[in-house]
Amino acid sequence: MDSHTYPVTRTDAEWRARLTPEQYAVMRNHGTERPGSCALLHEKRAGTFSCVGCDQPLFESKLKFESGTGWPSFNDPVPGSVETTVDRSYGMVRTECHCARCGSHLGHVFEDGPPPTSLRYCINGVALKFEPAA
């Protein structure tokens, strides 16, 4: 992770105890889950998607859309919940998004989404947990 200090911090051992091996690989080591592998890809109920690492609400289901990429996609995050950095890995320049509360890697944001924002937050489903609306 970067040198930025987040409101929620944990030791490496605490992260490993909290997360599954796949979640740890994605969220703490900037990995990517296999496309189409997450059940949340098909979640269509009203509710909120939160960070597995710290429970921060990240995305509302009303802004989720089917992008055809194999990862859950959203137009916009809950205000203040997601921060971005420049990702220069794999010989390309992308915009990485991470949880503003714990710094966990979530995915990337692209400028090829539908209106009104034209943004596509392409998020690893293993980084999310879903809470249906009451």
Q: Read off the pTM.
A: 0.93
Give the model's pLDDT for residue 69. 94
Question: Which listed residue (38, 51, 99, 122) is catalytic?
Answer: 122
Q: pLDDT for 40-90, tens place per residue?
A: 999 999 999 999 999 999 999 999 999 999 999 999 999 999 999 998 888
d(CA 72, CA 13): 28
Task: Kindly list the distances between the CA atom of residue 3 and the CA atoms of 6, 54, 103, in Å, as whole numbers in the listed order.
Answer: 9, 18, 10
Catalytic-residue membership of 122 = yes
d(CA 30, CA 28): 6
Give the model's pLDDT for residue 3. 67
- The pLDDT of 16-39, averaged and rounded, is 95
The answer to whether 40 touches 49, Cβ cutoff 8 Å, is yes
Give the model's pLDDT for residue 1. 44
Reported confidence tier of residue 116, pLDDT bands at 50, 70, 90:
confident
Q: Whats the size of the chain, residue-wise? A: 134
Residue indicated by tokens 């203040």? 80
d(CA 77, CA 88): 23
Reported confidence tier of residue 4, pLDDT bands at 50, 70, 90:
confident
